[in-house]
Chains A and B, each alone.
Chain A
Amino acid sequence: MEATEPSVVLIVEDEVLVRMAISAYLRECGYTVIEASSADEAIAVLESDHPVHVVFTDVEMPGAMNGFGLASWMRENKPKMPVILAGNHKKEAEAAADLCEYGPMLSKPYEPQQLLDQIRRLVAGLS
C-alpha cells in the first residue's frame, strides 16, 4: 500500500478498456477504486453512502451528461470534493479552469503516473 487515507477514487469513464487499465493501475498503487461508466452512474454512487474522496472523470461521455456536467453537479452538490477532468482539447481545458480549482485538467493521452501524482496531491490536501 502506497496510498494513505483518504483513498477512495471514483473513476468515470465510458470506454471500458481505458477504465479497466486506469482502475487496475490505481488499485496496484493502493487506492480503492469505484468504477462508473457514465455521469449518471457516478451521481448514483455519490448520492449513496459509499465514501468517495476524489473523482476522476473523462470529459467526453455519451448520455445526457458529460464530464463538465458532472463537475458542475459536484460543484453544486459536493462542493468540497475534488474533481480531475481528462479531455482532448485546449478549449475544453479553458472551460474546465472554472470547474477544476484543485489542479489543471489532464490532457489526453496522459500518463497514468500524471494522474497518480495529481490524486496524491489532492488526497494530501484532504487529510
Chain B
Amino acid sequence: MNSRARVLVVEDEVLVRLDIAGALRDAGFDVVEAGSGNEALSVLKTGASFVAVVSDVNLNDDVNGIDVIRRARELLPEAKLVLISGSPLLAEAADLPDEFISKPLVAAELAAKLKKAVPDQWKQQNRQSS
C-alpha cells in the first residue's frame, strides 16, 4: 500500500498533465490524474484524501477548475489548493485557491512549491510509511 503524500492533478491537456504529474512523482508525491472536471469530482467523491489539489481553470467539460477547487475546499479543508490558468484569475475565484500559477508553468517549480507548502502533512505521511 502506497502511503506517500497524495496530490490530485486536474488537467485536460494530456501532455501538460503528464508533465505536471511526472514532476510531482519525481518529487516523491503519489499522484492521481483527472482529465476533466467531472473526473476530478468522481475522484473527490470517493473520499480519498489529498494533501493538495492542482487544477487548470479551463477544462473541457461543464465542470471547470473553479468548481473543482470549490468542491475540494468543502471536502478537504486541510488540502492546499492550486489553480493554474493561462489568463488572469477571475475575481469570483480570487479567494479560492491557496496559490495561483500562470501558464506556461514549470512543473518542477510547482512540485518544489508544493513540497514546501505541505511540510506538515508530508512529514506525517512519511512517518506513517516508514
Contact = CB atoms under 8 A, between A and B. Distances in A.
Interface residues on A, range: 10 to 19
B18 A50 contact: yes
A44 B13 CA distance: 9
A124 interface: no
Contacts of B33: 19-20, 23, 35
Contacts of B43: 16-17, 20
A127 interface: no
Interface string A13-27: 000110110011001
Contact of A28 (B2, B15, B17, B18): B2
Nearest to A41: B14
A50 B18 CA distance: 10
Interface of B: 2, 14-15, 17-18, 21, 32-36, 39, 42-43, 46
Interface of A: 16-17, 19-20, 23-24, 27-28, 34-38, 41, 44-45, 48, 50
28 contacts: A16-B34, A16-B35, A16-B39, A16-B42, A16-B43, A17-B42, A17-B43, A19-B33, A23-B33, A24-B2, A34-B18, A35-B17, A35-B21, A35-B33, A35-B35, A36-B14, A36-B35, A37-B36, A37-B39, A38-B35, A41-B14, A41-B35, A44-B14, A44-B15, A45-B14, A48-B15, A50-B15, A50-B18
